Structure 1
Amino acid sequence: MQNLTLTWQTAGGASVVLLGAAYAVKRATRSGAATRAGGTAALLREAGILLGLFALWQLVGHLSVLSTDHALDRAEWIHRTELGLGFPDEAAWQRAVEPYSWLVTGANYYYATMHFGVMLVLLLWLFLRHRDRYHWVRTTVVLTTAACLLIQFIPVAPPRMLPESGFADLAAQYGQSVYGGRVGGVVPDQLSAMPSVHVAWCVIVAVAVVRVARRPWRWLVVLHPLVTVFVVVVTANHFWADGLVAVVLLLVVYLVQYAVSGWRADSEGPTPAAVQPEDRPEERSSVSRS
């Protein structure tokens, strides 16, 4: 499964190429083809930004591997705290699915592919069909991921590294682990379990589709976060707490965005549509002449 994982060098290089291509297309555009070329440049720019974000995420994970002190201790503390608060034991959930090889295999593939794949489909759909909503969602992804990255500088091991607590690395057992070894000379991130970017992104996808789409089928997207939470738990890649912290960060990002949007609206003043007819000088003059 390593071939499904881009290294931070590969993603970063692709990001630079795409951003450079976007700049070149924009500069080479003639006035007659400005609209079409502008759309191409925008698409290249956005793809470059997202790949750059992915590269940064991978790099932070690599840096966290350089300092593994107390990563296992923190994971054990999270597990003990959850059990003390009455949370369901993730190890028990994992044991419940272990007898079903097809379910384990599906969960491993879902974890490895759907996280980034579904987000790409969402952003492409918004960019092509709902451009007015795209920038809000893109900003949400960037800010939420950045907030997660800041916390992930503190190494926290995933549950699968705690066999003494009853967890197993099912992806490694089935030969499906994206963390199985070096990829492009870099050890993939394994100690950035807190918070779960998987959970944050799947909730962003669900909220965006429900808010933007208008047909009844849009509610099916709620299955994506439900399945994702199930998958990250039974594969022992995340604790419940990892997902909860990610959702809290996402809510903070939403609140900040709404606050900034309101502040901008207040600072810009009323729109022309908000000006009443009696306030317009030309209409007052026509009334006085009549």
Structure 2
Amino acid sequence: MAGVLDGVDQRTKLAGHNRFELLLFKLHGHQRFGINVFKVQEVIQCPPLTQIPNSHFVICGVAHLRGKTIPVLDLSMAIGMRSLSREDGCYVIVTEYNRSIQGFLVGAVDRIINIGWEQVRPPPTGTGKSSYLTAVTEVDGELIEVIDVEKVMKEVIGGREEASAETIDTHITSSNNHILVVDDSSVARNQVKRVCEQINMQCTLLKDGLEAWDHLTNLVTEGVKIQDRYLMIISDVEMPRMDGYTLATKIKSDVNMKDVYLILHTSLSGVFNTSMVQKVGANEFLAKFDPDSLLNAIQSHIKRQNGMSN
């Protein structure tokens, strides 16, 4: 896998055109899974691991890489499958999600493919709330499963679900208390919803950019002003069918929608995010998931609308 993660500039261009690169890997057998290359820092053969007493059963241990100590999770166990044998030449995919670095133990690493988000579909109906799939796509006639890593991280690593009480500003109010939340991860949608509810905000929850775009265009057809219906839109970037960058570009290019406040809220850690936000016209970028930062962003927008200083 040496050199396979080079070319960040090229991936930046892909992200701006509703395309991305997917790193394919296997856990057991022939089934292949995928992870967005932008979340991957490196791929290595499994190094010696140091055991952590009383850690979550999914954590194999910690690895010492380039002066850092990172937890390594058995991704197979994390999604309810049997554990991987480290004697079979396993690999570790080192990733950055939600401001933290961790490794995922996998059975084998296959290759990187370049595809469009329109080729990625939501999980099949009937997979249920217990499913760890966030999307699926097809490559060479084979179904590729994209794992809901945010769900895995929540279950294994945990973290605060609500903003701290001292973050809540009880002196501000808004005549518009409705927020549109767009994210393909049910865990992420509900995390945002819980923070919004702390300040009595209602949420409409949608699963991907295309669903959101159809919803917004239908409202416009009905004569609804988007900025009157929604205080803001909080959208993920990685989503099946239409990604957040494309959704943002379409919203900000539409005369009937361009004035709505739009936050891109993502676990992507690429250095391109600031420039991409400017390119697509989004108002703000927030890295997942910090409930205090999210609440502050919502409250700051309300203050600006009310003519108050932050």
Q: TM-score range by the shorter chain?
A: under 0.3
Point out which structure has higher relative CO (alpha carbons under 8 A, 6+ apart).
Answer: 1
When you count helix as a share of all residues, which structure comes out higher?
Answer: 1
Q: Which has the larger radius of gyration?
A: 1
TM-score (norm 2): 0.24
